[in-house]
Amino acid sequence: MTVRFHGSPATHLTLPALEALGLPHASTTRHCPGVAHPAEPVSPIGRETAAVLAPHGLDFTRVAYLRQAHGATVRRVEAGGNGGEGDVLLTTAPRVPLAIFTADCLTVVVYDPPGGRLALAHVGWRGTVKGAARTAVDALAREGARPADLHAAIFPSIGPCCYEVDRPVMEPLRAAFPDRWEAWVTSARPGKWRLDLWAANEFQLTTAGVRADRIANPRLCTGCRTDLFFSYRKEGSRGRLVTVAALPAVTEDSP
């Protein structure tokens, strides 16, 4: 099983690969109430969402989030609240949930179990071009993590089956990855291509040193599954999904 759904209808999901590591986390579906756009100074996660996800060990009185800007700026946080403008959240503080908001973009979670370090990245095509996933790994490495020790996960997002792009996307991608970009695209029709952001970001993670067998990707497409997820591309939806993860509490048995 690559995904575990919770609720009926499913309000959120967790990944068994991250559960096995003891990482508190959850990612909402469109059936989970109470998720808003990130805004200062009010938390975008409402009481209803917090109540639904609380059984997963997530304390939403301490949640940290960003004014997401489709870039690769890293914000290091040790407490909750708005961490400023950026697209990569990093913490070494236990029990501080990091939240990323999407409606087709990828949420990439990168976890360092032995070092107690965690990063979450918001990645669309612009973030892919700017290397946000690799930046998350590099930021953890600067904190002392060994990339070979890291585990990563890519949460539900738009897949190559549904993500059609044109030259204003293709040209920056070609410039950023001249030797690789063709592996991630297929021709759809004249002047249009289908782009595989999953493969592009898995490539960034592995080239940064993450082992391929430690990248969990359920390959759930938000465009295909509008019964479960919001998709800006497919429905112009203003709804948002949120993916949240937090370092586990430190215990006396922790190294």
The full set of domains in the chain, from first to last, is 4-157+212-245 (3.60.140.10)
pTM of the complete model: 0.94
Per-residue pLDDT of the chain (255 residues; tens, 9 = 90+): 799 999 999 999 999 999 999 999 999 999 998 776 555 445 678 889 999 999 999 999 999 999 999 999 999 999 999 999 999 999 999 999 999 999 999 999 999 999 999 999 999 999 999 999 999 999 999 999 999 999 999 999 999 999 999 999 999 999 999 999 999 999 999 999 999 999 999 999 999 999 999 999 999 999 999 999 999 999 987 789 999 999 999 765 555
Q: What kind and span of H or E run contains 89?
A: strand 88-91
| Cβ proximity of 149 and 221 under 8 Å | no
Q: Which two tokens stand for residue 143?
A: 């904190």
Determine the Cα–Cα distance for residues 130 and 126; give it in Å rounded to an integer: 6
**Which letter does DSSP use for residue 44 in this model?**
S
The distance of Cα 56 from the centroid of its chain, to the nearest Å, equals: 17
**Which letter does DSSP use for residue 157 in this model?**
B
Quickly count: other Cβ atoms within 10 Å of residue 201's Cβ.
26
Q: Which two tokens stand for residue 214?
A: 């430690």
Residue 81 backbone class (left: φ over 0; alpha: ψ -120 to 50; beta: rest): left
Within 142-202, strands assigned E span 151-154, 164-165, 185-189, 192-195
| CA atoms within 13 A of residue 147's CA, in its CB half-sphere | 18
Please provide the distance, in angstroms rounded to a whole number, between the alpha carbons at the two ends of the chain.
30
| Cβ proximity of 49 and 28 under 8 Å | yes
